[in-house]
Amino acid sequence: MIRPEFFVNTLKEYGIDFYAGVPDSLLKNICAYITDNLPAEQNIIAANEGGAMGIAAGYHLATGKVPAVYMQNSGEGNIINPLASLTDKEVYNIPVLLVIGWRGRPGVHDEPQHVKQGKVTTGLLNTMGINYAILPKDEEGAAKQIKMAADFMKATNECYALVIEKDTFDAYTLQKVETNGFTISREEAVRKVASCVEDNACIVSTTGMISRELFEARTAWNQGHERDFLTVGSMGHASQIALGIALQKPDRRIYCFDGDGASIMHMGNMAITASMKCKNYVHVVFNNGTHDSVGGQPTVGLRIDLCGVAKALGYKAAYSVCTMEILEATLAKLKDVEGPVFLQVCVKKGNRKDLGRPTTTPVQNKDSLMAFLQK
């Protein structure tokens, strides 16, 4: 395997020492090393992958140097537009080194949401005309491949992608871990809110730990899962799935269980939600200030006023809570509050190490939810 220090230092030898991106579980060791060893202004954790490409392009315009953008392959969709209309050789011809974690690679077992993306990862790069290579897992091979990538970008000013397989990088644990001081765990908060929703209500939960915790809560309570749509992929879009349901089912309360990283990823969605003025819509953001599912890399979630944003955009009411007592009191109050409502629940970082995953397939989840909504 490749030591994160070796990878970062090898890129630096070719003048690549500026990073932007969205953390990925296959790249968490690299992301952690960069966070610990580079100044914050040289590692921008972007709202989404397309935004990271914009930051990288601006860096190149200002310095003439090649930046690196890291992402999970699920983020390829977010970079297609800037790849085609910004960095492409037929437009501005801007070189960016793409470092892409290959979840769902064919032949390697992975979660359902990664299977299709894994199949099309290299195909999308081919379609976009992006030269790429699968990074070798040994340091000698990796060094040769990085040199080839750097030489190609220097000669052509085009983007180049390094596709990263599972178990490519050696272990590295993030040292700069900040505690946020909150006392409620996210799982406790998810269970509390889920236990208080109306009997005919629907919950749309975002990708990652929140959907897993909601699924386990229903199992622990010996309940079915038909009331919940577990958005196992499509990070940042759960709020709009919930909005689509809320518009068609005005007689039911529709809850979106969101995360800070997911809500920030496509924050413009909040403006659309507010503009539709759905009285039955409740947007709950469980905010711990980290991308918890992919190594605990920080977000700006606890450094911005999400409730202020919600109010400015037109949510009817916005609340922020950070203790179980206040959460319980606020949930009781929400019964009589007209939506769209925004509720931020500030929670501590981390999750149970033995947290399971949904045992139903995405299609089973969809079918049971649709049957529930027709009742």
Which sequence spans correspond to the domains of the chain?
Answer: 4-164, 186-374
Global pTM exceeds 0.85: yes
Closest CA to 297 of 46, 12, 66, 92: 46
Question: If 0-12 CB within 10 Å is exposed, 13-18 middle and 19+ buried, where does residue 120 land?
Answer: middle
Distances (CA, A) of 200 to 206, 322, 372: 20, 27, 8
| pLDDT for 50 | 97
CATH 3.40.50.1700 fits 186-374, yes or no: no
Assign 3-class secondary structure to 8-67: HHHHHHCCCCCEEECCCHHHHHHHHHHHHHCCHHHEEECCCHHHHHHHHHHHHHHHCCCC
> Quick count: other Cβ atoms within 10 Å of Cβ 97?
23
| pLDDT for 244 | 98
Q: Do domains 4-164 and 186-374 have the same CATH topology?
A: yes
Determine if residue 222 is left, alpha or beta; phi over 0 gives left, psi from -120 to 50 gives alpha, anything else beta.
Answer: left
> Quick count: other Cβ atoms within 10 Å of Cβ 69?
32
The CATH number given to 4-164 is 3.40.50.970
Helix 4-13, helix 28-37: angle, nearest 10: 60
| pLDDT for 176 | 78
| pLDDT for 273 | 98
CA atoms within 13 Å, Cβ hemisphere of 122: 13
Q: Looking at the DSSP assignment, which residues form a beta bridge with residue 285?
A: 258, 344
Q: What's 2's DSSP letter?
A: B
- Of the chain, the end-to-end C-alpha distance in Å amounts to 53
Q: Which regions in the chain score pLDDT beneath 70?
A: none
Residues 6+ apart with CB under 8 A from 321: 327, 330, 343, 344, 345, 346
User: Measured on CA atoms in the order 135, 118, 71, 228, is the torsion positive or negative?
Assistant: negative
Q: Looking at the DSSP assignment, which residues form a beta bridge with residue 70?
A: 21, 99
Q: How far apart are CA 213 and CA 355, in angstroms?
A: 7
Tens of pLDDT, residue by residue over 75-120, are: 999 999 999 999 999 999 999 999 999 999 999 988 888 899 999 9
The tokens of 217 are what? 């809560």
| pLDDT for 233 | 86
| pLDDT for 166 | 95
Kindly give the pairing relationship between strand 19-21 and strand 290-291.
unpaired
Kindly give the pairing relationship between strand 228-230 and strand 68-72.
unpaired
The tokens of 298 are what? 């920080």
Q: Looking at the DSSP assignment, which residues form a beta bridge with residue 18?
A: none
Q: How far apart are CA 53 and CA 95, in angstroms?
A: 10
